[in-house]
Structure 1
Amino acid sequence: MKRKMTFFLSSVLLLGLLAGCAEKDQLPDGAKLIHKGEFIFAASGEFKPFSYVKDDMSLTGFDIEVGRAIAKELHLKPVEKRIKFKGIVEGVKTGRADAAVASHTINPQRSKHVSFSTPYYYSGPQIFVRPDSKIKTVQDLKGKEVAVAKGSTYADTAKRYTSNIKMYDSDITALKALSGGRHDAVITDFVTGKTAAKEGFKITGRQLIERSEQAVVLPQDNPQLVKDINKALENLRKDGTLARISKKYFGEDITKKPE
């Protein structure tokens, strides 16, 4: 009996300690964090110029700087975590990161599993082909082989126009394959394609298919953190930080909602 009572008291004490730890991993307003004092955000590192790996293996890019700016607004230490793009939404959902600042398009399918912040930039899928291609619009994609990144919304876009789709781990590898003579086209973010063309890829842009809104991905069970990040983004818009970061990487402000 004494042994059972000791075990019971030890269990109660352990639960109390765990509860205390959980309480520490929160912002004062109740927003939950994986680690106290840190904002752990996911990015793929495969989506230049939004996120990519430097020679010293550290992450950089537009998304990375936005994530760091959000952390600064929240008075938290920014911690970047690399996750392959196709696994980022699941990673946030299962608690591997507090959020993802990784160029995710807001759409109904993802919204079933995660929450989104307000958009921090506006983009859109565009058709990219080799310069000698006769493909100009989505109507020309029928029956053509189109490459896209796994887990991206561009796969769903491509399925509207062709059933012949090839998947790559990243947009950059898909564009590199296209430049090297494989596939008929790639559908990707217009800024990514334009940047790749500037860096020497033998590709050119054709029809801009539509506009889309990109946002921070967050767990559905952390509504206060969504509110905090929305407030941080509002401040970063007002003080010009988002525009400054955008112009640094793209030479234009893609954070302003199109007319």
Structure 2
Amino acid sequence: MKFNVKKFAAGLAAVMLCAAPAFAAKPLEGQKLKMAVSPTFPPFEFERLDEQGNARIVGYDIDMVDAIAAELGFTYELVHTNFKGLMGELASHRVDFVVSGMSPTEERKKTVDFSVPYYYCQTSIIQHKGTNIKTVADLKGKKIAASFGTQYADFAEAAGAVVAAMDSSTYSMQELLAGRADGVVQDAASASIRVKQHPELEYFVLPQDELDKVQGGNVSDCFAAVFPKGSKLEPLFTEQIEKMQADGTMKAIYEKWIGPWPYDAKPLQGKHYKLAINATFAPFEFAQVNDKGESVITGFDIDVLDAIAAELGFTYEIKDMNFSGLIGELHSGRADFVISGLSDTEERRKSVDFSVPYYFCKTAIISPAAAPVKTMAEMKGKKIATVFGTEYAKVVEASGSIPTLLDNSTMVTQELLNGRVDGAVMDASQAKTKCEQNEGYVYHVIPNEDLESAHYVSGAYSIAFQKGSELIPLFNAQIEKMFAGGRMNELIVKWMGEEFVK
């Protein structure tokens, strides 16, 4: 049989054609879109001169959209406008989408659609050093500049500030630098750049738990791409953003413009634990009725634990019980940890382990103002109440008083208010709270030398764990971080007052 070269070549070509992979066109191949942006918000979008001296808009948001455009096949044109004009450009269909550090608030969702978040933000306050605005409460009555139409301007107004709504964050900064504003509210990534440019300034991140209480929790903690209602672009952008977050592209953009990537898996992500607590120890842990009429446990210890949980990624449930049963609950394995004004003592260490201290306490005696008891010597022969199983019980027993040992501090307070005891021993911050709530009572801090004579060895509270718990080093690192960053002292001031900061 004669070999036909032409037929073989034709057949081979056909086979190769059938076997070749099909390169499908990209979803938006060849399309040119318009994107609205307000380029006055570094590091997200801002103008910078290129090598030829031409002004170009660059930043985190631009790099992200460039990456999405490459995957979907479109090109785009930038439309410059003030931040307050972005939504109008979108509503009038003069642009196809907005990527400009915009948060998906409930109000905005009524008229536009948002992608999944591409950046999780932290609200901060920029100020001259020494201004001392560190919390949401500190904003009340202050002159605060923020970009018009942003959630930052709305939030500052809701917090009681006198708001100067400016056309851009650049103008907001000019108000601050000129002394016409006490502070500027904006994202922490942008704030860090502003502070580097102006060494006379500093910034503080406002706690998210405080932000959540403003405007009914409508202060968003993220940025997303924005589209007209029903736009077919939204699911395509959402898919690409999720892909970029999974494959490391978003991480590379973040590290280029902002710094170390903070969103790697948290050590205890997805874990759920059981907390044993005695919620009768205000201001550390106590029950309070919220706006919905529900009883919730709140206090200093809860705020400390919430901060640790947010950093480590776990959730927890609370089991409220008598103080005397807390160690047994832990030792039996029915609880994973206890944070309930518990002192680290040698006796307790026989059955449980402790974290580093998170609060350094003072011991006080509360008594009627008409018959004050000020020292351990004055306690002798008097009826003194405290909680059974606590270090305070050692103080009462060593004083030569007639002890009344009860299950919780609420019962101790009732004994005092009903006149059945002459005084009650408790933590000084708790005693302060009781005196503020009950007129006619005073408290006195017991001198350290008196406490030493009672073999009172712990002047601090720690978190208790099951023996050998792997949680201890993780919790220790977070407690030390909270002290180093000032967050622990902020919580102490919030719940107790300046005088209880060590």
What range describes the TM-score normalised by the shorter chain of this pair? 0.7 to 0.9
The structure that has the greater radius of gyration is 2
Which of 238, 247, 251 is residue 255 of structure 2 equivalent to? 247
Higher relative contact order (Cα pairs below 8 Å, separated by 6+ residues) = 1
Tell me what 1:164 maps to.
162
Q: 2-side partners of 1:255 and 1:105: how far apart?
A: 19
1:129 equivalent in alignment to 2:127: yes
Q: 2:172 aligns with which of 161, 171, 174?
A: 174
Is there any run of 5+ residues in structure 2 with no aligned partner, and where? 1-24, 209-219, 266-309, 314-502
Q: For residues 254 and 113 of structure 1, do their structure 2 counterparts lie closer, same or farther at Cα, with a shift above 3 Å needed?
A: farther
- TM-aligned CA distance change 1:75 to 1:131, over 3 Å: same
* Aligned residue number for residue 42 of structure 2: 48
**CA distance in structure 2 between the aligned counterparts of 1:212 and 1:37, rounded to whole angstroms:** 32
The answer as to whether partners of 1:242 and 1:255 remain within 8 angstroms in 2 is no
Inter-CA distance 202–153: structure 2 relative to 1 (3 Å threshold): same
TM-score by length of structure 2 reads 0.43
Percent of paired sites with the same residue = 29
Provide, for residues 179-216 of structure 1, a one-character-per-residue CA deviation record: whole Å limited to 9, x for no partner. 33221111111111111111225321124243601100
> Corresponding residue for 1:114?
112
Q: Which residue of 1 aligns with 2:222?
A: 213
* Deviation (angstroms), 1:64: 1.0
* Structure 2 match to 1:7: none
Partner of 2:94: 96
CA distance in 2 between counterparts of 1:254 and 1:102 reads 21
Q: CA shift at 1:233, angstroms?
A: 1.0
Of residues 195, 202, 227 in structure 1, which corresponds to 2:235?
227
Q: Secondary structure at the match of 1:104?
A: coil
Residue by residue, what CA displacement relative to the aligned partner does 1:8-32 show, whole Å, maximum 9, x if unpaired?
Answer: xxxxxxxxxxxxxxxxxxx987x8x
Supply the distance in 2 between the matched residues of 1:145 and 1:159 (Cα, whole angstroms).
10
Deviations 1:50-84 (A, max 9, x none): 10112312211111111111111211113222121
Q: Distance in 2 between matches of 1:60 and 1:167?
A: 25
User: What is the distance in 2 between the residues matched to 1:67 and 1:245?
Assistant: 11
- Gap change, CA 1:159 and 1:254, over 3 Å in 2: farther
Residues 82-113 of structure 1 deviation map (CA, whole Å, 9 limit, x = unaligned): 12111112211221211111111111011011
Q: Match for residue 84 of structure 2?
A: 86
2-side partners of 1:247 and 1:229: how far apart? 21
Partners in 1 of 2:100 and 2:87 — Cα distance? 10
**CA distance 1:62–1:256, shift in 2 (3 Å):** farther
Offset at residue 256 of structure 1 (A) = 6.5
Structure 1: segments with no counterpart, 5+ residues? 1-26
1:202 has 2:196 as partner: no
Aligned length: 228
Give the root-mean-square deviation of aligned CA atoms.
2.3
